[in-house]
């Protein structure tokens, strides 16, 4: 398994990270343990969770994923696992957190309460990477960053990162950290896949110049790139099949991921993968970890049978011919997810 440094920190991680957001909803604890064990055996040392997991957020599920990961962590040597989690952003916008009665915010009060609760659920006295799950562009960045800096100084957090952030938000936060002497973000966790290359427009250059690593989530575009939604299919138990039934915000998200352009581009990527002698899951995972601004790509699984094609990408580097074919599809179907 290839490894890479997170930002300018001292932490190196496997170039594939196992995400956990379905543990406790789509995947039960026994299944989650098997996925985590097989990931570690495959050379993956990096695991990502959040206080707001599992998804979709429900108050009765709040913190369940961290509890599952914490019980699994007790069976391992703590130092062999690089563990990342997140504090919820504000609940007055697109997402309402399942934590703190849906009254979350990025202020000192919430950051401190969130980390203490996460450490308890995870059964550890520190996390390696602590991230803001989504931003609040109307709030003072100094307050959240000051609280995060204190956590680093206290040894409860090794490094910090952001998620779902814009170029303005990333650069503003780095400027605040530099001005105030706070810890800087070493990572940014944003959506990035063959079907969503918008990160390359501006954020990629900001990351290169500022020494910040992208740890992309959804490299399979929410499972769309596996081909399981091709032809209008809605497989039973699949994430977006469930989201369509739920309606509201979840249905809107499903429509963004599953549309005429995203399915058409997926079909083309399947052909490229077959010509390269690999599954489209392996192709998409390998592609997402290959750019210079990426440290590790966050994958997810709800069953063990999904793992082999993901793990196969661990030591794959796509050649220039394959990359050119991929780029041609991306130009033909520009921004499939809008």
Which residues are tagged catalytic? 53
CA distance 171 to 52: 25
CA geometry: angle 21, 247, 307, nearest 5 deg: 30
Give whole-number Cα distances, 192 to 110, 188, 245, in Å: 28, 11, 25
3-state secondary structure of 91: coil
Residues facing residue 131 across a β-bridge: 86, 161
Residue 199 burial class via C-beta count within 10 angstroms: exposed 0-12, middle 13-18, buried 19 and up? buried
DSSP 6: -
Return all residues near 100 (Cβ < 8 A) that are at least 6 apart. 88, 110, 113
Distance (Å, whole) CA 13 – CA 187: 12
Cα Rg, the chain, nearest whole Å: 19
Say what angle helices 239-246 and 248-257 make with each other, to 10 degrees.
Answer: 140
Residue corresponding to tokens 């220039």: 320
* Sign of the C-alpha dihedral computed for residues 153, 157, 159 and 164 taken in this order: negative
Question: How long is the chain?
Answer: 338
Instruction: Please confirm whether the linkage preceding 40 is cis (ω < 30° from 0).
Output: no
Q: What are the beta bridge partners of residue 130?
A: 85, 160
Find out whether 274 and 268 touch, Cβ atoms under 8 Å.
Answer: no
């Amino acid at each position: 398994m290839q490894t890479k440094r997170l930002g300018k920190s001292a932490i190196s991680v496997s170039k594939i990270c196992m995400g956990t957001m379905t543990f406790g909803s789509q995947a039960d604890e026994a299944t989650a343990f098997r996925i985590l064990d097989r990931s570690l055996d495959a050379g993956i040392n990096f695991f990502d969770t959040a206080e707001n997991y599992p998804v979709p957020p429900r108050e009765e599920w709040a913190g369940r994923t961290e509890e599952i990961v914490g019980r699994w962590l007790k069976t391992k040597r703590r130092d062999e696992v690089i563990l990342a989690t997140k504090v919820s952003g504000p609940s007055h916008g697109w997402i309402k957190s399942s934590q703190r009665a849906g009254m979350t915010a990025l202020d000192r009060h919430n950051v401190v309460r969130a980390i203490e609760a996460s450490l308890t659920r995870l059964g550890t006295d520190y996390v390696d990477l602590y991230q803001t799950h989504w931003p609040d562009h109307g709030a003072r960045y100094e307050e959240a960053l000051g609280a995060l800096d204190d956590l680093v100084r206290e040894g409860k957090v090794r490094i910090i990162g952001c998620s779902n952030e814009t170029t303005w938000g990333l650069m503003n936060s780095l400027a605040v950290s530099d001005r105030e002497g706070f810890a800087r973000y070493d990572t940014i966790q944003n959506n990035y896949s063959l079907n969503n290359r918008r990160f390359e427009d501006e954020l990629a250059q900001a990351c290169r110049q500022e020494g910040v690593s992208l740890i992309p989530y959804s490299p399979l575009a929410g499972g769309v790139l596996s081909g399981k939604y091709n032809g209008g299919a809605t497989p039973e138990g699949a994430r977006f099949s469930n989201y369509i039934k739920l309606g509201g915000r979840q249905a809107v998200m499903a429509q963004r991921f599953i549309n005429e352009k995203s399915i058409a581009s997926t079909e083309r990527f399947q052909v490229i993968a077959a010509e390269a002698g690999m599954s489209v899951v392996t192709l998409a995972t390998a592609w997402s970890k290959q750019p210079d601004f990426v440290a590790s790509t966050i994958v997810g699984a709800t069953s063990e049978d999904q793992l082999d094609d993901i793990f196969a990408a661990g030591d794959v580097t796509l050649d220039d011919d394959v990359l050119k074919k991929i780029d041609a599809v991306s130009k033909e179907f520009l921004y499939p997810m809008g």
